[in-house]
Structure 1
Amino acid sequence: MSETAGTEKLRPGWKPGQSGNPNGRPKGSRNRVTLVALAAMEDGADAIAKRVVEMAKGGDISAARLVIERLVPVAKERPIFLSLPDIGSAEGIARAQAAILQAVAAGDILPGEAATLAGIVEACRKAMETQELEQRISALEGKK
């Protein structure tokens, strides 16, 4: 007897290689084990949080670090206040890049922040260059 004959009896309408749930698991649904663990944690969450805070107040550095990390998460980015010259010309772009470099050298901004700013200035330069090339091509085509 073939394998397909046995499965047809068990699940009518089901074909080998076809999913029993073609849409898959609903987005955001959780595993039963996860739900049980979350329910168990909810019951004691207040008591655990209070105990950790008490330990932190008592001088436990690990508990203090845990409390601080939850209260004040590490900032991924910060606002940068840096005055840049007008970047409407090639000279302005060069001055803006120099200002970014000087801000890093002075310690006003971090190197990663400078790289992001320099990338933005470079994108503006490329856009300006593309616009200029388009104008030149249009002028050349107009002469024909």
Structure 2
Amino acid sequence: MGRQQAGRFQKGRSGNPRGRPKGARNAATIACERLLDGQAAALTQKAIQMALSGDNVALRLCLDRICPPRKDRPTMFHLPPITSARAAADLMAAVTEAVAAGHITPGEAGEIGKLIDVYVKAYQTAELDDRIARVEQLSDAELMHIAAGGLTDAVSTQRPQKLMLLNSR
């Protein structure tokens, strides 16, 4: 079976190699369900009666079921288009200012920052895809000319400014 003499299993070998069967339920959960089976309405009514008679714990329980605490709230704000790394940095600066002014919480700012990060990555991926598509449309002669240090008119007009700066020495 894979046990050592001390009663423990050998490394890498389990006593139940197939694991827990799908759909198997915890025995304690099943026992609780059997105890409460058919009593849910009566227990709910009792909790309501206790809450109405002034039991604060029962009141909190009832209110949490009626109106559960919100995990987050909708945050409405204008999100300008992100068309460059500078625009993303400016947007993050505005989010930081909103936290400092108390308009949004630091947690909300963190979530907004994640959204901006994902958007920037998607924008960069789309921009890279566009660049690759433009290069793939070039003829072999144009590619050889670029490799030799020259630019074709089609490429020089389509290249983003930041790439032009990399080649200007």
TM-score by length of 1: 0.67
Equivalent residue letter for 2:40: A
For the structure 1 residues 20 and 101, does the alpha-carbon distance in structure 2 shift closer, same or farther, using more than 3 Å as the test?
closer
Give 1:27's aligned residue. Answer: 22
1:44 aligned onto 2:39: yes
> What per-residue deviation string (whole Å, max 9, x for no partner) do you get for residues 8-34 of structure 1?
xxxxxxxx2498976443323224443
> Which of the numbers 55, 58, 62 marks the counterpart of 1:63?
58
Give 2:10's aligned residue. Answer: none
Q: What is the percentage of aligned positions where both structures have the same residue?
A: 39
1:122 aligned onto 2:117: yes
1:92 aligned onto 2:87: yes
Distance 2:58 2:104 in 1: 32
State the superposition RMSD in angstroms: 3.3
Does the aligned pair in 2 maintain the 1:85–1:95 contact within 8 Å?
no
Give 1:113's aligned residue. Answer: 108
Distance 1:98 1:41 in 2: 54
Give 2:75's aligned residue. Answer: 80
Structure (1/2) with the larger helix percentage: 1
Distance 1:34 1:125 in 2: 46
Q: Which structure carries more relative contact order (alpha carbon 8 Å, separation 6+)? A: 1
Structure 1 unaligned segments of length 5 or more: list them.
1-15
* Aligned positions, number: 127
Q: What SS does the corresponding residue of 1:28 show, helix, strand or coil? A: coil
Distance 1:103 1:44 in 2: 50
Equivalent residue letter for 2:111: T
For the structure 1 residues 21 and 88, does the alpha-carbon distance in structure 2 shift closer, same or farther, using more than 3 Å as the test?
same
Distance 1:91 1:77 in 2: 29
Distance 1:36 1:119 in 2: 43
For the structure 1 residues 43 and 129, does the alpha-carbon distance in structure 2 shift closer, same or farther, using more than 3 Å as the test?
closer
